[in-house]
Structure 1
Amino acid sequence: MKKAKIRRTILLLLVSLFLAQIAAPALSVPAYASAPSEQTSVTEDELTDPTKMPPPEETGSEKSAPTDDPPADKAPEESDKANEKSGTRYYSNNPDDFVIENGVLVEYRGSDTHITIPSTVEKIGQHVFSDKTFIEWVVIPPSVIEIDTSAFLRCTGLEGVTFSEGLEIIGNSAFQQCTNFQVASLPLSLAEIGDHAFWDCTSLQALYFKPDTYLYINQRAFENCAINELTLPADTWYIGKNAFKNNTSLTALNLPEGVRNVDDNAFRGCTSLIEVDLPGSLEIVPRGMFAECTSLETVVMRPGIIEIKGYTNDYYPGAFHGCTKLKSVTLPSSSYELGRYAFFNTPSLLSVIIPPSVTIMGERAFDEGQHLLIKGRIGSRAQSFAAENNNRFQGTLPPVDWINVKRLTGNRLQITW
């Protein structure tokens, strides 16, 4: 009896345990729960030396968000380069693209189309940008004093340059054959423009000088350009040979009083030029200065001019040789010499007044023939020249107070002046 009761009790316990196991929720144990915990030991040195401390873990709020910005050592895109500063557009370029030695920029390694020269540069060296046809615009800061020989030679994509006050010298061939260069506004500080500096810049239409610039322009500096109008500073000390030759678009030229030294052929072949007014400060009109200016109609020369140079050879013709439309010439009372062939091949010139101060007239200073009427003082060199060259002559007597009348014997009078 007791055994049966014990068996029944055990059976009930087993059933109860079985039912309890089914009803109880399943317990999940984390994977790390069974792993022993690891502790990082920190020595005393590590506690006192921050460089030996393990780095702190980043929390969610401290992590930096992803960005599309370029790395700090990369140049930004072209669209982000331009910014305005004091009215001048500056561009950001990679400093590593510029090789600078003792203030001289000796090499450019970049490929930017718009460039700002670093402010540590005092001189742009020879050939630094030569033949880099991808360059479109350059900003030159006030620190730059000189642009050396051929610095931008044949940069055919270059449209313009921002020149800053401080620049003193533009070297030989500095911008030669930059055929897309359109506008040049030159600073007051500029003192010298070298040989061929802008030679063959066939798109250069606008050229501006500051009025008080003391300037020396070397030979062929602006030959074969497309300048429309030109006003030179009064303190232009020298204009070299062929300096503005073959600017066939030049229609207006202003040479103010103060311009002194102009060399041969300076404006030769400027075929659109119609009128010129030459200041007395010039003194000497050089060989070929306006030769072959085939649209030139009027020439006025102010008192102070003493000589108009004549022909030497085909490279150096007379000052106004081949001005086929020239109709009017005013010679000043200060002039005394007209060189040989000075006005040769000027078939439209029908009349000219030659003052008595002119005592030297070279061979065929004016064209031969009856079409030309020379007006001058009776007994002057103008009268004898007209006779030598088969020109018509219209004489004038000197002022009355110059005439000395002396009665001779009978009805004869002697008139001298």
Structure 2
Amino acid sequence: MKQLYYKIFLLGLLCFVGCKLYAYDTEVDGIYYNLIEDTHEAMVTSGENKYFSSVTIPSTISYNGTSYNVTSIGYQAFMECQELVAVTIPDSVTRIHNEAFHNCNNLKNVHFGNGLTTIGQLAFAYCSGIVSLKLPSSLDSIGDAAFMNCYSLQSIEIPDNVFSIGQDAFCRTGLKSIILPQNLSFINEHLFQECYSLEEVITHDGIKGIGERAFYRCSQLKSIDIHNANYIGGHAFEECENLESVIVGDSLTRIFNYAFYDCFKLKSFHIPNSVTYMEDYIFAYCWNMTEISISTGITNIPNNAFCGCSSLESVLIPENVKSIGNSAFNGCTGLTKIQIPNGITSIGYSAFSNCSNLISIILPDSISTIESNLFNMCVSLNSITIPNTVTVIGPGAFHSCI
């Protein structure tokens, strides 16, 4: 008997697997819908057949003598409809759900109705045929990765009503310029990551923060004004190789790791005195940086902060700095001298290693240890003052110093 039940179970399972189920309530003129009886609303969904060519969604449909308002486009409704070229969305639609048009790579034209308020996560991701978009004035939020990998998307108009744009929303698009909406307060994580054609970002006074990797590898970006930002996230402008100008203001308090790593056209940067927290590698390998102004609000220069800034000629370390991190100025071959304040109690290993043009240095009597490789390969160093307070000199501290 158990074997019989087992065979019946297997037969039923095979029948279930062999049949694809489509959860829709009705089809009208080739468009599938789910119906909400209580509110007389209809949501566009998927069905047996893929949508193709041009689709115009009506604002209302009739079913069994009852009229329904079409108010949303459902989850994955048009997903991977490879032959879909154009879609017209009526004013009645207020929401486009997650992945609604995901990977419709031949979709070129989208006309949005004026009732739309929300575009969900991955809604148009991988729609590589879209070149330009105008979003409706009714829109207030754009979900995570909504237009990610829309490689051909060169321009988009975002209404000022939008207050939320999710992370990765325009990651790896072909955008050349963007005007940020007035209601937007934060540039989210990865928002424009690897937008290799992005040259211009027009901001406004309301931008309060720059998320992690927000402009990572935006290699054509030349300048940006973020004068009211409170923080700059990790890797935010990393490898923006044509970035020459960044305007920040006294609202800035935190700069996170790798923020401007390898921005080799950045020549100068003023770290305002309002900054009290900085992380590692923030300006590492900014080869053309000749001038840096360090905030009086910080007490620690982080590890590798200016590592590889080979054009840096001079730097003024504020009096309230207490420590200099490992390899902080490693490879700053343009430095000829540097004044270390008396209050500094710790200088990390390799902090001035490979500063090949450093001629002289006076160490303050507030330090007791010269860490390993501190002046390694400082081949031009001919004068150094070591205070009596120093009790430990690490291995390689003066290796190859003439």
TM-score, normalization by structure 2: 0.65
Q: Counterpart in 2 of 1:40?
A: none
Q: Secondary structure at the match of 1:280?
A: coil
**1:163 paired residue among 153, 158, 166:** 158
User: Do the aligned partners of 2:350 and 2:373 also contact (CA within 8 Å) in 1?
Assistant: no
Flag the 1:351–1:131 CA change in 2: closer, same or farther, 3 A.
Answer: same
Question: How much does 1:113 deviate?
Answer: 4.5
User: Do the aligned partners of 2:88 and 2:112 also contact (CA within 8 Å) in 1?
Assistant: no
Q: Secondary structure at the match of 2:178?
A: strand
**2:245 paired residue among 252, 258, 272:** 252
Structure 2 gaps of 5+ residues are 1-55, 59-85, 388-402
User: Do the aligned partners of 2:302 and 2:328 also contact (CA within 8 Å) in 1?
Assistant: yes
**Larger Rg: 1 or 2?**
1
**1:320 paired residue among 306, 330, 335:** 306
**1:182 paired residue among 153, 166, 176:** 176
Query: Which structure's residues are more often helix, by fraction?
Result: 1
**1:153 paired residue among 136, 148, 157:** 148
**2:332 paired residue among 338, 346, 357:** 346
**Identity percentage of aligned residues:** 23
2:124 corresponds to 1:129:
yes
Q: Counterpart in 1 of 2:259?
A: 266
Question: How much does 1:115 deviate?
Answer: 4.4
What's the CA shift string for 1:20-60, capped at 9, x where partnerless?
A: xxxxxxxxxxxxxxxxxxxxxxxxxxxxxxxxxxxxxxxxx
1: CA distance, partners of 2:318 / 2:201: 31
1: CA distance, partners of 2:312 / 2:201: 27
2: CA distance, partners of 1:95 / 1:254: 41
Question: How much does 1:255 deviate?
Answer: 2.1
2: CA distance, partners of 1:152 / 1:261: 29
Q: Counterpart in 2 of 1:103?
A: 95
What's the CA shift string for 1:51-90, capped at 9, x where partnerless?
A: xxxxxxxxxxxxxxxxxxxxxx899xxxxxxxxxxxxxxx
2: CA distance, partners of 1:159 / 1:368: 44
Question: How much does 1:346 deviate?
Answer: 1.3
Name the aligned partner's letter for residue 203 of structure 1: S
Question: How much does 1:238 deviate?
Answer: 2.8
Q: Secondary structure at the match of 2:170?
A: coil
Flag the 1:340–1:112 CA change in 2: closer, same or farther, 3 A.
Answer: closer
Q: Secondary structure at the match of 2:230?
A: strand
Name the aligned partner's letter for residue 164 of structure 1: P
Q: Counterpart in 2 of 1:211?
A: 205
After TM superposition, the structure 1 = structure 2 runs for residues 3-402 of structure 1, keeping only pairs within 5 Å, are: 95-96=88-89, 100=93, 103-105=95-97, 107=100, 113=108, 115=110, 117-178=112-173, 180-215=174-209, 217-225=210-218, 226-234=220-228, 236-310=229-303, 318-367=304-353, 371-374=357-360, 376=362, 379-381=365-367, 389=375, 391=381, 392-393=383-384
2: CA distance, partners of 1:151 / 1:188: 20
Question: How much does 1:172 deviate?
Answer: 2.1
Question: How much does 1:287 deviate?
Answer: 0.5
TM-score, normalization by structure 1: 0.63
Flag the 1:99–1:158 CA change in 2: closer, same or farther, 3 A.
Answer: farther
User: Do the aligned partners of 2:162 and 2:184 also contact (CA within 8 Å) in 1?
Assistant: yes
What's the CA shift string for 1:230-283, capped at 9, x where partnerless?
A: 22132x233222111100010112221111122110110111111111111122
Name the aligned partner's letter for residue 184 of structure 1: I
2: CA distance, partners of 1:95 / 1:369: 62
